[in-house]
Chain A
């Protein structure tokens, strides 16, 4: 719901700009045929339906995506209205508390999405009900000829119906009035207005929250009527036009009504219409040409969207290490990348430290544990929030077992974590950076702490931490590394049977397929291979590379 609403919102804002431009253009092209104005409204309709359009450098729309979807979940949301000052102002009001579970913008769009849906239902419901009520009233009408009906119970002529439109006339119209009215309504049918107006109303229902769209709809209705008037009086002389304006006068409706259908004869702007009718002059070819060119230009400038700004490439932290930076610094006199800030780890009390260890272990350990778990962490920042403590730390966990006087690494992990602990140092909340946007999310999360700049470099410590764990395992098991003697002490058959992985392949490229299994030995960086021979015996060998 909120994503749909956001799409519509962005479309609405973009279309709003176009509406303003069209209002201006309508004023400029007052003397041009009103069909031009209707074409301009068609452009607005297009803008209101298409979420994405072609990008072009000449687009005059400030922004096609004022509220990007990413802004909703971002703690420091980034808006793109096209105006820096507006962006800054709004962004500061909607910036979020890093520890809240939802940003204010998220909450707002959720609620707004539902309110928007209710609005749509309200508008469509109103349109449906008023149409039904009208249809009820005109059941008592009699056919005059073709698709023309007469009715006692209506006070203004109108056009009703989508697929088989009918013209309804009040019984009180005179013969002369009838001629004018029929000509006008038939012009509506010829222009397919009985489709465009309801379509416009549907778009209005989707964008009901935008007052500019309401303005557009009202003006569209006027322009449609104007355009039909023009069609009718184009072939009339002066006195006939006078008669037509008299008909307009006698059929004008006293109240202002915004409706989807029907299209009523005396509905909108009667005074202006009469003025135009009396002052009508056939438009010249040049005027029409100017109008068409204006429409094309408006389409180019306003149907396209501004090109997305250039994005700075991410500097991948993991690929760059301290040695690389030092090397590049000595190689070039001016460093091209800014110096990286090293993390300054802080000490915490033993109880908190233990709780942090427990948390890292719970995340880093698999279900089936064969060996022993080792864990090491470093705390980057600690914050007291009332009774709770918020900790950001990096930690490594490794599961080692012993084999042949060497170590087998069964599982390892290295991660950055945030956690909230209560007064009893129990973890009540937990946070991990987003996969694929690790640096970004760490920066967002820690933006108002002094350690944000250094925290993003946490991967620099990966090798170090995993190394520490290996040393811990080594001292724990008291191993020194595999030797040939150690192999002799092993029971090859049992080793083979209990191995998790069995491979059937030509291990030594001699053309003979063997069955074997292998174990990685971390300390000596070798592989212990156990081959099942054809005669049922087992051999153990050491290899430097993985088979």
Chain B
């Protein structure tokens, strides 16, 4: 599924759904009206677009998420590493570490992660 990136506005909208799903379209429209000052048509337009991208679906007036928030952002990170570091996790970590100092605890956690990864 090619979900693409979420812009700031789309992210706010997606959060609205993830926070309240499953919810009826009327409820979604009301929420968007209240928090985003959106018209009905705008809400429907964006919903349709994100549904086509495979994130949500609108079944007979009820909006559900096909991908959870965590799953979505996890995939985003994967894609980022793939695109930027040619899929090399060590390269990513090096770049990451060169900007921030890792605590001992963090080093341990990452080592565990690598072990788990190597194991798969």
B37 touches A140 (CB 8 A): no
**Which of the segments B2-10, B55-63, B64-72, B109-117 contacts the partner chain?**
B2-10
B9 touches A139 (CB 8 A): no
B45 touches A140 (CB 8 A): yes
> Is B12 in the interface zone, CB < 8 Å from A?
yes
Q: Is the interface of B mostly helix, strand, loop or mixed?
A: helix
Chain B residues with CB below 8 A from A152, complex form: 7-10
B42 touches A171 (CB 8 A): no
With A143-B36, A143-B37 as given contacts, are A171 and B8 in contact (CB-CB < 8 Å)? yes
A140 touches B42 (CB 8 A): yes
Interface centre among B8, B10, B38 (most CB of A within 10 A): B8
> Is B53 in the interface zone, CB < 8 Å from A?
no
Interface bin, chain B: 10 to 19
Chain A residues with CB below 8 A from B9, complex form: 140-142, 150-152, 171
> Is B46 in the interface zone, CB < 8 Å from A?
yes
User: Whole-angstrom distance from the CB of A541 to the nearest CB of chain B?
Assistant: 97
Indicate with 1 or 0, residue by residue over B83-110, a CB within 8 angstroms of chain A CB atoms.
0000000000000000000000000000
> Is B20 in the interface zone, CB < 8 Å from A?
no
Give Cα distance in the complex from A150 to B46, angstroms.
Answer: 16
Chain B residues with CB below 8 A from A142, complex form: 8-9, 12, 36
Chain A residues with CB below 8 A from B10, complex form: 140, 152
> Is B75 in the interface zone, CB < 8 Å from A?
no
Chain A residues with CB below 8 A from B12, complex form: 142
Give Cα distance in the complex from A141 to B39, angstroms.
Answer: 11
Chain B residues with CB below 8 A from A153, complex form: 7
Indicate with 1 or 0, residue by residue over A119-153, a CB within 8 angstroms of chain B CB atoms.
00000000000000000000111110000001111
Chain B residues with CB below 8 A from A151, complex form: 9
Give Cα distance in the complex from A140 to B37, angstroms.
Answer: 9
A150 touches B8 (CB 8 A): yes
User: Whole-angstrom distance from the CB of A135 to the nearest CB of chain B?
Assistant: 11
User: Whole-angstrom distance from the CB of B44 to the nearest CB of chain A?
Assistant: 11
Interface centre among B9, B12, B39 (most CB of A within 10 A): B9
Residue of A nearest to B38 (CB): A139
B37 touches A171 (CB 8 A): no
Chain B residues with CB below 8 A from A141, complex form: 9
Chain B residues with CB below 8 A from A150, complex form: 8-9
Give Cα distance in the complex from A381 to B42, angstroms.
Answer: 81
User: In B11-63, which residues have CB < 8 Å from any A CB?
Assistant: 12, 36-39, 41-42, 45-46
Give Cα distance in the complex from A171 to B39, angstroms.
Answer: 20
Chain B residues with CB below 8 A from A139, complex form: 38-39, 41-42, 45
Give Cα distance in the complex from A140 to B38, angstroms.
Answer: 7
Give Cα distance in the complex from A185 to B9, angstroms.
Answer: 21
Interface centre among A139, A140, A151, A153 (most CB of B within 10 A): A140
User: Whole-angstrom distance from the CB of B8 to the nearest CB of chain A?
Assistant: 4
Chain A residues with CB below 8 A from B45, complex form: 139-140
Give Cα distance in the complex from A139 to B37, angstroms.
Answer: 9
User: Whole-angstrom distance from the CB of A160 to the nearest CB of chain B?
Assistant: 14
Chain A residues with CB below 8 A from B37, complex form: 143
User: Whole-angstrom distance from the CB of A166 to the nearest CB of chain B?
Assistant: 10
Give Cα distance in the complex from A259 to B10, angstroms.
Answer: 29
Give Cα distance in the complex from A153 to B41, angstroms.
Answer: 17
User: Whole-angstrom distance from the CB of B52 to the nearest CB of chain A?
Assistant: 15
User: Whole-angstrom distance from the CB of B30 to the nearest CB of chain A?
Assistant: 16
User: Whole-angstrom distance from the CB of A177 to the nearest CB of chain B?
Assistant: 14
User: Whole-angstrom distance from the CB of A151 to the nearest CB of chain B?
Assistant: 6
User: Whole-angstrom distance from the CB of B70 to the nearest CB of chain A?
Assistant: 22
Residues of A within 8 A of B (CB): 139-143, 150-153, 171
Q: Across chains A and B, which 3 residue pairs bring their CB atoms closest together, nearest first?
A: A152-B7, A171-B8, A139-B42
Given A140-B10, A150-B9, 4 more A-B residue pairs with CB atoms under 8 Å apart are: A139-B38, A150-B8, A152-B8, A171-B9
A-B contact pairs, 26 of them (CB 8 A): A139-B38, A139-B39, A139-B41, A139-B42, A139-B45, A140-B9, A140-B10, A140-B42, A140-B45, A140-B46, A141-B9, A142-B8, A142-B9, A142-B12, A142-B36, A143-B36, A143-B37, A150-B8, A151-B9, A152-B7, A152-B8, A152-B9, A152-B10, A153-B7, A171-B8, A171-B9
